[in-house]
Amino acid sequence: MKTQPVHRAGNPDPRAACFAELPVSIAHELNQPLQAMVANANAVQRWLRAVPPNFGRANSSTASIIRNVDAAVQVVSRIRALFTQAGSQRQVIDLIRRPGSMCLALLVRGSAR
């Protein structure tokens, strides 16, 4: 999936690129553990179809799938935490006038973890 940078798509404000790149970044972070799950699931099938079946290797691949699922869950949890701060006060922000400051706040909050 190709994306066109926001400043080339008719928006002269490069700060808006932060918001445009967010979905691409999220998709990338989720795609890695999902692809690993598929690869490990295929490995399980190969190990079980082998003659004789290699249950040890299949079990090891199954453990990897569980780790990959946990990694995907952690990605979703971190994304959810970006947008819903439990215990914090909600505040209206004018994104038209201050997109750069919001982008900076998200970047700073993410790098502090």
The yes-or-no verdict on residue 18 having pLDDT over 60 is yes
- 10 is a domain residue: no
Please give the backbone phi and psi of residue 96, each rounded to the nearest 5 degrees, phi first: -70, -40
Query: What's residue 64's pLDDT?
Result: 94
pTM for this model (two decimals): 0.58
- 22 is a domain residue: no
- 113 is a domain residue: no
What six digits make up the tokens of 29? 């972070």
State the total domains in the chain.
1
- Domain boundaries, position 98: 28-108
Query: What's residue 90's pLDDT?
Result: 58
Sequence-distant (≥ 6) Cβ neighbours of residue 95 within 8 angstroms: 102
Query: What's residue 107's pLDDT?
Result: 55
- 34 is a domain residue: yes
- 13 is a domain residue: no
- 92 is a domain residue: yes
pLDDT, one tens digit per residue, over 25-38 is 888 888 999 999 99
- 2 is a domain residue: no
